[in-house]
């Protein structure tokens, strides 16, 4: 297989996205391909106050306290992991240190400075994993093999935010995972890989997201290995069949529970 210089763009998420990188780095057979992981600001354009309110409305008081306490614990463990060896991972950066992958913190992934940096690195493929910023045309066109994204829905259905939530909310028996090329739209590029994963009886949203993040890493490995072999003929991501969802409101989160589902 040809060498493929890969760069990931993501955000620091110790709960879910971290699991993707654990699985990918552990199982990817060509670690020399991985040139780095770019961690962009988690909140994007959202202020810390607005993000906290959004999470409080979504989880409710008790679950918000649980998640907040767990987050503080993870941050503490990540800090001490820089000096003490820990058996578990508590951040994406910690996973990268374990596997010798370069971490780059960059505020604006569409900036001219960052694009120049990518050119010097001779990047062939950019992989978005929950990247918090929309890729613009110059970034999309820069890598020789393009930019791809992983989205946890059977695109073109369930484009947008928190797709696992909405698939459970609407009573789906399984959730999709799609790996697709990135274009100027949102979850709109042609499809490289798609698979369905059954929702287990009584499964919480938290459990489902964790499970699909791990499976998604293995699916991504399959997609990347296909790209390494040569050109891949993608499938259309039909706009006329698309559905789009935003982040759930407080009322929608309550309705999710009323329908018998659990967030945690």
Query: Between residues 43 and 57, which one has the greater pLDDT?
Result: 57
- Residue 263: inside a domain, yes or no? no
- Residue-level pLDDT at 185: 85
Averaged pLDDT of the chain: 95
| Per-residue model confidence as pLDDT tens digits over 89-112 | 999 999 999 999 999 999 999 999
Residue 230 pLDDT grade (very low, low, confident, very high; cuts 50, 70, 90): confident
- Residue 147: inside a domain, yes or no? yes
CB 110 within 8 A of CB 136: yes
The structural domain count of the chain equals 1
Alpha-carbon gap, residue 7 to 127, rounded angstroms: 6
Helix (H) or strand (E) holding 194: strand 191-198
Mean pLDDT of 55-67: 96
Mean pLDDT of 168-182: 97
Residue 44 pLDDT grade (very low, low, confident, very high; cuts 50, 70, 90): low
- Residue-level pLDDT at 127: 98
- Residue-level pLDDT at 49: 85
CB 25 within 8 A of CB 224: no
- Residue-level pLDDT at 250: 97
Query: Between residues 232 and 157, which one has the greater pLDDT?
Result: 157
What range does the domain containing 121 cover?
6-258
- Residue 1: inside a domain, yes or no? no
- Residue 195: inside a domain, yes or no? yes
CATH of the domain at 133: 3.40.50.170
Alpha-carbon gap, residue 145 to 125, rounded angstroms: 5
Rounded to two decimals, the pTM is: 0.95
- Residue-level pLDDT at 146: 94
Helices (H), the chain: 17-27, 48-80, 92-99, 112-121, 137-141, 163-169, 205-229, 250-258
- Residue 264: inside a domain, yes or no? no
- Residue-level pLDDT at 48: 80
- Residue-level pLDDT at 203: 97
């Amino acid at each position: 297989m040809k060498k493929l210089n890969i760069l990931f763009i993501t955000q620091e998420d110790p709960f879910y996205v971290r699991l993707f990188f654990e699985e990918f780095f552990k199982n990817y057979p060509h670690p020399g391909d991985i040139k780095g992981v770019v961690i962009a600001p988690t909140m994007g354009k959202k202020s810390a106050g607005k993000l906290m309110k959004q999470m409080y409305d979504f989880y409710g008081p008790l679950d918000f306290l649980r998640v907040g306490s767990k987050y503080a614990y993870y941050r503490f463990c990540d800090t001490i992991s820089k000096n003490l060896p820990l058996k578990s991972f508590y951040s994406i950066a910690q996973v990268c240190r374990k596997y010798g992958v370069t971490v780059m913190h960059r505020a604006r992934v569409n900036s001219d400075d960052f694009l120049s940096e990518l050119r010097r690195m001779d990047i062939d493929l950019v992989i978005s994993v929950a990247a918090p910023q929309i890729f613009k045309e110059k970034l999309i066109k820069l890598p020789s093999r393009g930019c791809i994204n992983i989205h946890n829905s059977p695109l073109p259905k369930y484009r947008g935010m928190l797709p696992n939530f909405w698939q459970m909310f609407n009573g789906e028996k399984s959730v999709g995972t799609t790996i697709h090329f990135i274009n100027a739209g949102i979850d709109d590029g042609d499809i490289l890989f798609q698979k369905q994963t059954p929702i287990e009886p009584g499964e919480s949203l938290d459990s489902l997201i964790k499970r699909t993040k791990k499976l998604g890493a293995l699916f991504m490995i399959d997609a990347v290995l296909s790209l390494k072999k040569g050109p891949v003929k993608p499938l259309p991501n039909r706009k006329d069949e698309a559905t789009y969802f935003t982040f759930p409101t407080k009322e929608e989160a309550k309705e999710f529970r009323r329908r018998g589902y659990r967030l945690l």
